[in-house]
Amino acid sequence: MEKLAIIVQRYGKEINGGAEQHARLLAERLKSKYEVEVMTTCALEYTNWDNYYPEGTEIIDDIKVRRFKSKKKDNKKSHKLSRHLAKHIEYNTRKITPFNFLYLIINRLIYNYSPSIFHDWLENLGPLSLDLVDYIKENKNNYKSFIFFTYLYHPTNEGIREVANKSILIPTAHDETPFYFKGFNDLFSQPKFIMYNTLSEKRLVERIYPQTKKINSDVAGLGFDKLIFPKNKNNLGFKYFIYIGRIEENKGCRELSGFFTKFIQDYDKQLKLVMVGEKFMETKISEDIIFTGFVSEEEKWNYLQNAEALIIPSFYESLSMVTLEAMSFGKPVLANEKCEVLKDHILASEAGFLYSDYQGFALQMQKIVELSDLDKKKLAEKGKAYVDKNYQWNSIVNKFEKAIRYITGNY
């Protein structure tokens, strides 16, 4: 078997980040075709990159995982450098008015830019593991191909330099401020092949980094197995909507909790919001919002199958696995229209609803609450059909096989 390396910032069954879960699912599918190894850090969480797992190798579901220690992140320094770099975002990424044009010019004069500032920011953002990068450099001849997850982090940016002609980049890019930092120009010139999650992600990357149009690419995403769990009754004793994922401001969770609380007050609905996942922000105590913390897969699906709908308030997504999981499970999705990826999913599937402000949120919530059994069935059928058509593992694995053959020259 040809040897294949997957490089991702964190790896483990306890980790529920989208890119990390994507990497694990892909590794488990590719192991029947290749000798797959994962190269990652010892970190469990991304806020500080503290070393949690032991350094060295372990086997997870028949896949060798190589873990390397990383340096602790200085969040204060990271925020300072981020603010500095944000002053140099290119004009073509912003709507230009006379006022902000002058503002940009002044900031560029005050905040001098140099590649070293971007490099300092990238190292501090982390996870900084020079041993991981050195391992890639010293062992690059032992692997046929290297798959790098996430444009944002240090292992991808530095590791891909060492094996550019053998590399597949899965950028998981979305419309966030760091994506526009000019230091990423180098990264998006490096890979031999780019595998996007969605067409909207491909459009975004090619618009901001036009050099990627010359790089061979495809759109794969990831596949979803048919989920079969015993149908359990709703033991919570009330109707509820559900959010699944990291509970943090950047995911739109603060806005969601505010919208939901106002909706309950305005309409006197006997509903709850169940938020499943680890909390990374302070939250108020409320009888209307229930936080479960991290739960097992079986518990997660039990919560989902009894919910009225899944709510995804995120402004930034490159795929949104949980949206597709909910659709494959036959549940309607209420999503933030400001996220292009989510909007594309909803419009293409016709299996959900969109909102852009509180008024739209309240209107769509009322529609969902009032759905008839027949309407629910139709939405479920559309969601399942969309996932079955576009996100099947056989097709996705075939796309990676073709990409690897392209890299190795075995057309």
Say how many C-beta atoms besides its own lie within 10 A of residue 47's C-beta: 10
* pLDDT at residue 91 in the model: 41
Residue 230: pLDDT band with limits 50, 70, 90: low
Q: Is residue 64 classed exposed, middle or buried when 0-12, 13-18 and 19+ CB atoms within 10 A define those classes? A: middle
Residue 8: pLDDT band with limits 50, 70, 90: very high
Residue-averaged pLDDT of the chain: 90
Q: Global pTM?
A: 0.81
The fourth-level CATH superfamily of domain 239-390 is: Glycogen Phosphorylase B; (3.40.50.2000)
What are the tens digits of pLDDT across the range 236-285? 778 999 999 989 998 999 999 999 999 999 987 789 999 999 888 888 87
For helices 340-349 and 199-208, give the axis angle rounded to 10 degrees. 150
Q: Which residue has the higher pLDDT, 109 or 128?
A: 128
What are the tens digits of pLDDT across the range 312-355? 999 988 889 899 999 998 999 999 999 999 999 999 999 999 99
Whether the CB-CB separation of 276 and 243 falls below 8 Å is answered with yes
Distances in Å between the Cα of 310 and the Cα atoms of 68, 220, 274, 275, 338 are 36, 24, 10, 10, 17
Distances in Å between the Cα of 369 and the Cα atoms of 1, 270, 365 are 53, 11, 6
Residue 92: pLDDT band with limits 50, 70, 90: very low
Would the pLDDT of 87 be above 80?
no
* pLDDT at residue 94 in the model: 47
Average pLDDT over residues 64-88: 88
Domain 3-73+126-223+393-408 sits in CATH 3.40.50.2000: yes
Q: CATH 3.40.50.2000 region(s) of the chain?
A: 3-73+126-223+393-408, 239-390
**Token pair belonging to 63:** 């896949």
The percent of residues above 90 in pLDDT, for the chain, comes to: 70
Q: Which has the minimum average pLDDT: 230-234, 276-280, 298-302, 373-377?
A: 230-234
